[in-house]
Amino acid sequence: MKKPIRRIALSIGGGDAPGLNAVIRAAVTAAANRGWECVGIRDGFNGILQPTHYPKGGVVLLTRDQVRGIAHLGGTILGTTNKGNPFHFPTLNADGTVNDTDRSDELLAYFKREGIDALISVGGDGSLTIANELHRKGLRVVGVPKTIDNDLDKTFTTFGFDTAVSFATECLDRLHSTAESHHRVMVVEVMGRYAGWIALHAGISGGAHAILIPEIAFDLDQVAAKIRERDAEGRMYSLVMVAEGALPLHGQRAVLAPAEIGHAERLGGIGEHVTRELAQRTGKDARVVVLGHLLRGGSPTSFDRLAALRFGSAAVRALEAGLSGVMVALAFPNVNYVNLEEVAGRMKAVPLDCDTLQTGRDLGVCFGD
């Protein structure tokens, strides 16, 4: 029989995503309804591991009042980080070099000392892998899947994705008219890391003529041929959607910065390359728009907001039911729980036989293959 829960902690890790505040609101309220106290850790686990960085406290009490009216707000009231892996914490030496330090025991000791019985960890692949490791070390943990990239396995979708796709779609809608007016090629680069979900969904919804995703190595000669074909038919402009992790057939991914201790590599720049090459191959005027972090900002769509509220509440129900080492997942139309073990370290790529991709092909979209 597990010890009854009296106090839980919430931690958000990785890049922010619209819907985080909705998770916080639902989890804190559901916990309060059960008579549990809830604390929020600032910036992943940094609020505990780097307490001096937080003059107002690295761990804050979250009451019903504090989470009122926040479900519609973008960002996160707790902050987040993608540089705070407690198992690979970057420690700066006096000579400027950085050590990879395992500080997970400090974290567990903190939880014990402060009477924190369980953790709700909200994050993407990296944060959920950490959550799984903490569970293995004996902490009661429930994960909540978050990422605009939608690349987490075992859940139909993650919150943040719909908001990112809706915004990117609106951007494409706007670019049609300016591209057409100038008879240009407009290239739109979107985030998504090594998965092409955002590019695929927004590209098809927004009527892109070519969509380049990491799952299909692209040949720019094919894209240039598509643009020429459209020109020949009198449609003198083209929109090309490119995922930041898209892979040229005989080239490399565009990397802005290499991986560091506790921090993944930064992708970006492929849009610039595609634009330059297409201008050269087609002789047309071409421009690039990089949507970048705009995809992570703003209010969550109602779909993401509801998913996030459901996830936050389901995480508390999981803890109440004595579950640990699980992630809340959307198994449309319901939520269920899957083992973190099945999620950690796995990436959900776009399946090449999925109907969304087939739909694109039926609509005449060029995938660069």
The 8-class DSSP code of residue 5 comes to P
Stretch that binds ligand F6P, among 88-96, 104-112, 147-155, 341-349 (CB under 6 A): 147-155
Among 28, 48, 148, 340, binds ligand F6P (CB under 6 A): 148
Residues 295-354 contacting ligand F6P, CB under 6 A: 296
Residues 232-251 contacting ligand F6P, CB under 6 A: 244
Stretch that binds ligand F6P, among 54-62, 84-92, 113-121, 190-198 (CB under 6 A): 190-198
Q: Read off φ and ψ for residue 366, nearest 5 degrees.
A: -90, 130
Minimum CB distance to ligand F6P smaller for 117 or for 151:
151
Closest distance of CB 252 from ligand F6P, Å: 16
Non-local (6+) Cβ contacts of 268 within 8 A are: 189, 244, 254, 255, 256, 290, 292
Q: Read off φ and ψ for residue 202, nearest 5 degrees.
A: -70, -40
Q: Read off φ and ψ for residue 132, nearest 5 degrees.
A: -65, -40
Q: Read off φ and ψ for residue 308, nearest 5 degrees.
A: -65, -40
Is residue 282 involved in binding ligand F6P (CB under 6 A)? no
Both tokens of 44, joined, read: 């992943």
Among 37, 43, 133, 149, binds ligand F6P (CB under 6 A): 149
Both tokens of 151, joined, read: 């690349």
Is 149 an annotated catalytic residue? yes
Closest distance of CB 134 from ligand F6P, Å: 21
Is residue 193 involved in binding ligand F6P (CB under 6 A)? yes
Residue 289 in contact with residue 189, Cβ under 8 Å? yes
The 8-class DSSP code of residue 53 comes to G
Minimum CB distance to ligand F6P smaller for 51 or for 74:
74
Site map (CB under 6 A) of ligand F6P, residues 115-134, x = contact: ---------x----------
Is residue 155 involved in binding ligand F6P (CB under 6 A)? no
Among 88, 266, 281, 346, binds ligand F6P (CB under 6 A): 266
Is residue 267 involved in binding ligand F6P (CB under 6 A)? yes
Is residue 84 involved in binding ligand F6P (CB under 6 A)? no
Minimum CB distance to ligand F6P smaller for 134 or for 290:
290
| Residue nearest to ligand F6P as judged by C-beta position | 191
Both tokens of 111, joined, read: 């939880």
Alpha-carbon distances, residue 203 vs 274, 300, 352 (angstroms):
16, 20, 16
Minimum CB distance to ligand F6P smaller for 117 or for 304:
304
Name the amino acid, one letter, at 24.
Answer: I
Please identify which of the residues 125, 149, 162, 304 carries the catalytic annotation.
149
Closest CA to 169 of 133, 139, 211: 211
Is residue 196 involved in binding ligand F6P (CB under 6 A)? no
For the four alpha carbons of 61, 328, 166 and 270, in that order, the dihedral sign comes to positive
Is residue 82 involved in binding ligand F6P (CB under 6 A)? yes
Surface-to-core class of residue 136, CB atoms within 10 Å of its CB (0-12 exposed, 13-18 middle, 19+ buried) = middle
Binding footprint of ligand F6P, residue count (CB under 6 A): 13
Query: Angle 270-282/220-232 helices, nearest 10 degrees?
Result: 50
- What is the contact surface with ligand F6P in residues (CB under 6 A)? 15, 82, 124, 147-149, 191-193, 244, 266-267, 296
